[in-house]
Structure 1
């Protein structure tokens, strides 16, 4: 798996993959998002709830399975990482997601 500077994520269809996610304020201090309502939503695809990150108690961990990668087929889709608070959504990250590897 890779993620580039523009937020483009490329998954490998042959493996489960993990992407740690943290947030920082303007001063560079990490914000605790361990209890935040966060959702990774893929256009015409799937929604993923990040798990706790055992390596960083303030962060979260996106776990992409082979099934997630295979569900993308050969398409490149938009995604958003949302934080939900009191029925308001804040976009934390957005970009494109695709999968490479075994042919479908």
Structure 2
């Protein structure tokens, strides 16, 4: 499953089971969100085809709905790794504090 998500096989041995679970769970959620987005696009395309075929004069203007604000700059690999490290560190700290409270 690790390689199916596009992750390099040599990176697998450097992580813990908990990190593996978090990464795979996040990848699954991302894939599910991608499939859901495709379903929405297919539904919208079906609606536009319906208007184009049956009632082209009243076809909705979909260009206005697609306008978005400026996109944020993508993170560099170094920034992404630092953010991921900070997240995993906080998760580990929370787990340790929960264990010490027992």
Q: Which has the higher contact order (CA 8 A, sep 6+)?
A: 1
TM range (shorter): under 0.3
Q: Under a length normalisation based on structure 2, what TM-score does the superposition of the two structures give?
A: 0.20
The structure with more helix, counted as a fraction of residues? 2
Q: Which has the higher strand share?
A: 1
State which structure, 1 or 2, has the greater radius of gyration over its C-alpha atoms: 2
